[in-house]
Amino acid sequence: MTRKQKPAPQSKRHAVTDDTGWTHITKGPKSTINTQRTKRLLQQETIRREPLSLEPYSQKFKTHYTPRWRESSCFQKLKPILEDATRTGASNPRITQCVCLGLGSPTAGVEASSWELAALLSLLEILGT
């Protein structure tokens, strides 16, 4: 007779604050999160980040993320779909405001936030015309 294996317990998320004050959300049992190795990795990750103010980030966003997003195959495929939808839908309401939830900090060293922001702004531009 075979026995079913019990499913692994779900890992909980924990907030770990490093020496510089950054709080990282990690997943796993507390015993693995509070190890010296984990704290050292978080500290190294934080050290690699260069703090950006608004002006340098805006410049990098305009020269790097926006052009590369607009050249991407994803945007090239999405753009005609949205343009077609805005042309055919005369009853579509005009977008005057937008809220983006869960974007994260674009200056915290994680590039995903910058790519998401570039995508959002380009989509709003298309939908707003």
Rounded Cα–Cα distance for residues 19 and 22 (Å): 8
Is the whole model's pTM more than 0.85, yes or no?
Answer: no
User: Which of 68 and 51 is assigned the larger pLDDT?
Assistant: 68
- Please report, for the chain, the start and end positions of each structural domain, with discontinuous segments joined by +: 13-48, 54-128
Q: Read off the pLDDT of residues 22-61 as tens digits, 9 standing for 90 and up.
A: 676 776 665 555 566 666 665 555 444 556 678 888 898 9
pLDDT exceeds cutoff 70 at 86: yes
**Which of the four pLDDT bands, split at 50, 70 and 90, describes residue 11?**
low
Q: What's the pLDDT at 43?
A: 58
Q: Give the orientation angle of helix 111-128 with respect to helix 73-88, to 10 degrees.
A: 30
The DSSP bridge pattern shows strands 13-17 and 23-27 to be: antiparallel
pLDDT exceeds cutoff 60 at 63: yes
Q: What is the largest CA-CA distance in the chain?
A: 67
Summarize the confidence of residues 8-13 as an average pLDDT: 69
pLDDT exceeds cutoff 70 at 65: yes
User: Which of 101 and 79 is assigned the larger pLDDT?
Assistant: 79
Helix residue ranges, H only, the chain? 30-33, 36-48, 54-60, 66-71, 73-88, 111-128
Q: What's the pLDDT at 125?
A: 87
Both tokens of 5, joined, read: 């294996």
Q: Read off the pLDDT of residues 88-120 as tens digits, 9 standing for 90 and up.
A: 765 666 677 788 888 877 766 668 888 899 999
